[in-house]
Structure 1
Amino acid sequence: MAQLLDMAKKLVGHVKMPEANVSDVSLKHVSRDSATFNAQVSVINPYDHDLPIGEISYTLKSANRVIASGTMEDPGSVVANETTKLDIPIKVPYDVLVSLARDIGSDWDIDYELQLGLSMHIPIVGKFTLPLSKKGEIKLPTISDIF
């Protein structure tokens, strides 16, 4: 039995794993009660079959506080032997953005840290969560940009 487990560990160690990165985070939409940000994620699937994504969990932080968090259930699949681009909408209520006014007011942008977890089922390995993170700043539109 121990030999079988050792063989399985060696096999799993040589299995190619999907790779991903967050390419951009931007302001997507503004409404009366919230702002929606969009995170663009590129996922590379090294397998010759599609990989279904069970869920995507996200946490968006600014000024060392969580301003949005949640999960996106069943966002689709990662296409076989290709790079799949995913758009992840993140809705932030205005009252949270108003509380960040000091950071926004100084340079008219939001400094952020985004943490994502893409959960998928990989053959042989089983359920696997691919962790991602990105730090940056989102420039906000000025009144002249709107009009």
Structure 2
Amino acid sequence: MDLLDKAKTFVAEKVAEIETPTADVTDVDMKDFSREGITYNAKVSVNNPYSHSIPICQISYTLKCAERDIVSGTIPDPGSLVGNEKTMVEVPVKVPHNVLLNLMKDIGADWDIDYQLDIGLTMNIPVVGNYTIPLSTKGEIKLPSFWDLWKTSGSGET
């Protein structure tokens, strides 16, 4: 039995020493405005330390404003990370207009919303299995002004 315990300990130590991908949220900005809502785009820079590509199983996200979950979702099978490189992954977060109206007290005079965006980037790493990188960022999301709305409707975009 001693040999089995030593083998388990050895394997656990080696697995713990395996280098894993790292990620950072580099930017969150407004991407699109439509009749359904506003889409914000989070850009995540992911560093893959392996020489081969790694599939991303899913990306999960939760946008919080005023200590409340505003919108959450998952993006299944968003692609792969290139080997030995940094890959920029985009996470679109669509917020319906009715949700923004409920946040009017937080918007205030500066026409922005304080937010926290939590992202879970789940990938399948050989030997390790599914591995999730938890990310969190806080900041302010600017809402479109009336000028932005006029530019959008005047250019034929929706």
Give the alignment's TM-score, normalised by structure 2: 0.88
The Cα of 1:145 is off from its aligned counterpart by: 4.6
* Aligned counterpart in structure 2 of residue 72 of structure 1, from 42, 52, 75: 75
Deviation digits for residues 60-99 of structure 1 (CA, Å, limit 9, x no counterpart): 0111111110100000001100000011111111100001
**Which residue of structure 1 aligns with residue 11 of structure 2?**
8
Superposition deviation, residue 138 in structure 1: 1.4
> Could you say if the C-alpha distance between residues 34 and 141 of structure 1 is closer, same or farther in structure 2, counting changes exceeding 3 Å?
closer
- AA at the equivalent of 2:94: K
- Output aligned runs, 1:1-147, within 5 Å: 1-146=4-149, 147=151
Letter in 2 for 1:38: N
1:13-34 deviations in whole A, cap 9, x for unaligned? 2211100011111111111121
Aligned length: 147
User: How many percent of aligned residue pairs carry the same amino acid?
Assistant: 52
The one-character-per-residue Cα deviations of 1:101-140 (angstroms, maximum 9, x if unpaired) are 1111332111110001111111221111110000011122
Match of 2:127, SS state, is coil
Unaligned runs of 5+ in 2: 152-158
Structure 1 segments of 4+ aligned residues over 3 angstroms from their partners: 144-147
Deviates more, 1:68-77 or 1:135-144: 135-144
| RMSD over equivalenced CA pairs, Å | 1.2
In the aligned structure 2, how far is the partner of 1:33 from the partner of 1:82? 36
Separation (CA, whole Å) in 2 of partners of 1:25 and 1:14? 32
- Is the strand fraction higher in 1 or 2? 1
- 1:101 alignment partner AA: M
Give the TM-score taking structure 1 as reference length. 0.95
Higher Rg of the two aligned structures: 2
Q: Secondary structure at the match of 1:106?
A: coil
SS at match of 2:7: helix
| Partner Cα distance (2:143, 2:99) in 1 | 15
Amino acid at match of 2:121: L
Which amino acid counterpart does residue 125 of structure 1 have in structure 2? Answer: V
